[in-house]
């Protein structure tokens, strides 16, 4: 007997007017759009005894395992099906492989092998490979690859594509490449998997080479290449490729728009970002939570707080990520009080702050010097919200304490935190020591930075500044000499400026800009 949680959850005012002459399965196929609808129909199937019919149960399960369904409910239905057939096994495994708990797909697949008389067939394996891919467990997926090869299924294009995707997504590029190179016929899915995998592993140049060789590209190809550029910090290239995408009249998806908004925000290209926002609105691209967050984040990074607030207040739906972006944006743009106030509103909303939320509010505390408030937030994050502080939370607290001159407390926090400190957090303390001219604390912090990252230039540069600030010029010079002896080079400063919708990049003492000669000539005129 199925538990009572499957009983009807609606009153007699249900939108379904069940007609005894109308088959319930027909209603499920044609009218069911939500889980509440499904539960109502399922209850009727239970009452009539149809829920025990394998075909009826499979249809209920199929809806539960769809994007509109609920995998917990799906599993409950599955456990009450006697002798599930191949379709039912495939449905539940596929549902979990596409969910937030793909490990359940693998567990069910193993149960199928061990306990069921029904054995996996060609449509079973792609979902399992996808689950391994989602979990980053390509080593285990390789064992399944061996099983597939023994069964003679490796040449099945559907299975082959998911194996390539698994290897590429997990960074096993050699293994993915071997399978890819064996394909004699062009398959856009396999090519897209390789482009995505190469970009994910930082091989964006090789990824573009493959992209350019494709005899046919779909929207996923373009999105994979654009997002690959953004992931690797090639923001200008991403925007340029989008221009070519438009020339070829390929309609972008919301995923493409998110990548482009991220690129515009990272470049500080406000006009480009505004154009993309307008494009989204004009072309009826779904303004879902992810797109809304990307728009808010873009305006914040470009310093246009009023526009980001307008989007935040008028969007049809803003998720927790949108709140977090807005809090951080306010904190980074000199609106610390507003950031703290917005965090308070988040606490009283129907959403629960997460670790990112606290990074935003702690950042706001840093810029305002609110040490006691930061200590309080750090405490309630652990006590009230049961959030385990990450290295970023500790780094924020070190920044707050360092900015306020509480250098001893900041150093003690680093030394006692349960996470192994990295060069960045010691660098934050070193920067604070430079600000307050504390040579002894600076020396200890610099020692830790160089121990963790011997090639880091900031430790030498900051220590040189600390010494120079105390008129100890001989020791300041020694830091630069030490850098030269170790062949450590200071990364040149870089700035970006948008003029007439075009982003220009300038590097300190650089002459790579196409109009560098004119620029330096103009500067010389003003000297």
Q: What is the pLDDT of residues 141-187, one digit of tens each?
A: 999 999 999 999 988 999 999 999 999 999 999 999 999 988 767 88
Give yes or no for a contact between 311 and 299, defined as CB atoms under 8 angstroms apart.
yes
What's the CA gap between 248 and 470, in Å, rounded?
A: 61
Give yes or no for residue 211 having a pLDDT over 80: yes
Give yes or no for a contact between 60 and 45, defined as CB atoms under 8 angstroms apart.
yes
Token pair for 275 = 């154009």
Domain-embedded: residue 470: yes
Position with higher pLDDT, 69 vs 139: 139
Highest mean pLDDT: which range of 21-25, 452-456, 508-512: 452-456
Give yes or no for a contact between 483 and 462, defined as CB atoms under 8 angstroms apart.
no
Q: What pLDDT sits at residue 501?
A: 56
* Same-domain status, 413 and 425: yes
What's the CA gap between 507 and 512, in Å, rounded?
A: 8
Q: 368: domain range? A: 319-388
Residue where a domain terminates, one of 360, 388, 416: 388
Q: At what angle do helices 320-332 and 355-368 cross, to 10 degrees?
A: 10
Compute the average pLDDT of residues 434-444: 80
Q: What pLDDT sits at residue 117?
A: 93
The CATH number of the domain where 371 resides is what?
A: 1.25.40
Nearest residue to 69 (alpha-carbon basis) of 25, 27, 33: 33
Q: Identify the burial level of 480 via C-beta atoms within 10 angstroms of its C-beta, where 0-12 means exposed, 13-18 middle and 19 or more buried.
A: middle
Domain-embedded: residue 348: yes
What's the CA gap between 429 and 127, in Å, rounded?
A: 48
pLDDT-derived band at 491, boundaries 50, 70, 90: low
Instruction: Give pLDDT tens digits for 87-131.
Output: 999 999 999 999 989 999 999 999 999 999 999 999 999 999 999
Instruction: Give pLDDT tens digits for 310-345.
Output: 999 999 889 999 999 999 999 999 999 999 999 999
pLDDT-derived band at 484, boundaries 50, 70, 90: low
Position with higher pLDDT, 455 vs 65: 65
Side-chain half-sphere exposure of 100, counting CA atoms within 13 A: 3
Give yes or no for a contact between 300 and 329, defined as CB atoms under 8 angstroms apart.
yes
What's the CA gap between 197 and 498, in Å, rounded?
A: 32
pLDDT-derived band at 18, boundaries 50, 70, 90: very low
Output the CA–CA distances (angstroms, integers) from residue 63 to 59, 73, 87, 356, in the order listed. Answer: 6, 10, 13, 34
* Same-domain status, 419 and 469: yes
* Same-domain status, 415 and 481: yes
Compute the average pLDDT of residues 301-317: 94
Domain-embedded: residue 428: yes
Domain-embedded: residue 283: no
Token pair for 478 = 């020694």
* Same-domain status, 471 and 515: no
Q: What pLDDT sits at residue 380?
A: 95
* Same-domain status, 499 and 485: no
Q: What pLDDT sits at residue 10?
A: 36
* Same-domain status, 327 and 352: yes
Give yes or no for residue 255 having a pLDDT over 60: yes
Give yes or no for residue 391 having a pLDDT over 90: yes
Work out how many domains the chain is built from and give that number: 3
Q: What pLDDT sits at residue 7?
A: 36
The CATH number of the domain where 480 resides is what?
A: 1.25.40.10
Domain-embedded: residue 190: no
Arithmetic mean of pLDDT over the chain: 84
Domain-embedded: residue 314: no
524 three-class SS: helix
Q: What pLDDT sits at residue 6?
A: 40
Which residues 6+ apart lie within 8 Å of 470 measured at CB? Answer: 437, 439
Q: Which residues of 83-101 are buried (b: 16+ CB within 10 A; e: fewer)?
A: ebeeebbbbbbbbbbbbee
What's the CA gap between 63 and 33, in Å, rounded?
A: 9
* Same-domain status, 484 and 411: yes
What's the CA gap between 271 and 499, in Å, rounded?
A: 9
Strands (E), 285-342: none
Nearest residue to 326 (alpha-carbon basis) of 349, 350, 307: 307
Strand 494-499 and strand 502-507: pairing? Answer: antiparallel
Compute the average pLDDT of residues 56-77: 86
Q: What pLDDT sits at residue 223?
A: 93
Alpha helical stretches, state H, 136-172: 138-150, 157-169
* Same-domain status, 481 and 521: no
Q: Give percent of the chain with pLDDT exceeding 70.
A: 80
Output the CA–CA distances (angstroms, integers) from residue 109 to 53, 93, 133, 169, 287, in the order listed. Answer: 23, 7, 15, 21, 37
Q: At what angle do helices 86-97 and 71-79 cross, to 10 degrees?
A: 160
What's the CA gap between 230 and 263, in Å, rounded?
A: 6
Position with higher pLDDT, 412 vs 47: 412
Token pair for 48 = 């009539």
Which residues 6+ apart lie within 8 Å of 120 measured at CB? Answer: 89, 109, 112, 113, 128
* Same-domain status, 485 and 498: no
What's the CA gap between 130 and 104, in Å, rounded?
A: 12
Give yes or no for residue 13 having a pLDDT over 60: no
Element (H, E) at 495: strand 494-499
Domain-embedded: residue 230: no
311 three-class SS: helix
Token pair for 343 = 């965090």
Q: What pLDDT sits at residue 97?
A: 94
Element (H, E) at 113: helix 103-115
Domain-embedded: residue 232: no
What's the CA gap between 527 and 521, in Å, rounded?
A: 10
pLDDT-derived band at 489, boundaries 50, 70, 90: low
């Amino acid at each position: 007997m199925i538990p009572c949680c499957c009983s009807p959850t609606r009153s007699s005012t249900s939108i379904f007017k069940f007609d005894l002459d109308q088959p319930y399965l027909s209603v499920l196929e044609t009218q069911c759009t939500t889980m509440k609808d499904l539960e109502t129909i399922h209850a009727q199937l239970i009452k009539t005894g149809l829920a025990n019919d394998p075909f009826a149960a499979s249809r209920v399960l199929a809806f539960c395992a769809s994007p509109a369904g609920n995998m917990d409910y799906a599993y409950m239905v599955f456990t009450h099906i006697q002798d599930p057939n191949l379709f039912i096994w495939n449905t539940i495994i596929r549902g979990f492989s596409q969910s937030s708990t793909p490990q359940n797909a693998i567990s069910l697949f193993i149960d199928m092998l061990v306990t069921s008389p029904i054995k996996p067939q060609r449509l079973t394996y792609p979902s399992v490979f996808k689950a391994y891919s989602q979990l980053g467990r390509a080593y285990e997926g390789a064992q399944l690859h061996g099983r597939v090869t023994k069964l003679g299924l490796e040449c099945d294009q559907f299975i082959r594509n998911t194996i390539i995707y698994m290897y590429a997504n997990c960074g096993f590029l050699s293994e993915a490449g071997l399978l890819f190179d064996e394909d004699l016929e062009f398959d856009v899915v396999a090519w897209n998997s390789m482009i995505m995998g190469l970009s994910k592993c930082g091989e964006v140049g090789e990824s573009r080479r493959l992209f350019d060789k494709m005899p046919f590209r779909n929207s996923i190809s373009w999105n994979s290449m654009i997002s690959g550029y953004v992931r690797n910090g090639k923001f200008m290239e991403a925007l340029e490729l989008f221009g070519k995408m438009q020339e070829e009249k390929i309609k972008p998806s919301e995923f493409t728009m998110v990548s482009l908004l991220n690129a515009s925000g990272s470049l500080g290209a406000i006009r480009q970002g505004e154009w993309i926002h307008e494009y989204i609105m004009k072309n009826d691209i779904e303004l879902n939570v992810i797109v809304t967050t990307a728009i808010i984040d873009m305006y914040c990074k470009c310093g246009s707080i009023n526009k980001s607030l307008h989007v935040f207040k008028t969007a049809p739906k803003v998720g927790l990520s949108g709140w977090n972006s807005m809090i951080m944006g306010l904190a980074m743009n000199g609106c610390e009080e507003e950031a703290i106030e917005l965090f308070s509103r988040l606490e009283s909303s129907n959403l629960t702050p997460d670790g990112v939320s606290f990074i935003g509010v702690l950042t706001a505390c840093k810029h305002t010097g609110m040490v006691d408030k930061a200590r309080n937030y750090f405490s309630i994050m652990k006590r009230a919200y049961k959030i385990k502080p990450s290295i970023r939370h500790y780094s924020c607290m070190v920044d707050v304490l360092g900015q306020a001159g509480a250098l001893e407390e900041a150093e003690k926090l680093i030394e006692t935190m349960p996470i192994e400190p990295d060069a960045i957090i010691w660098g934050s303390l070193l920067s604070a020591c430079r600000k307050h001219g504390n040579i002894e604390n600076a020396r200890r912090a610099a020692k830790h930075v160089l121990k963790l990252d011997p090639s880091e230039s900031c430790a030498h540069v900051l220590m040189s500044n600390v010494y120079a600030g105390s008129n100890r010029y001989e020791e300041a010079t020694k830091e630069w000499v030490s850098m030269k002896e170790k062949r450590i080079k200071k990364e040149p400063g870089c700035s970006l400026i948008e003029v007439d919708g075009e982003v220009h990049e300038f590097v300190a003492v650089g002459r790579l800009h196409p109009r560098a000669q004119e620029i330096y000539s103009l500067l010389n005129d003003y000297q």
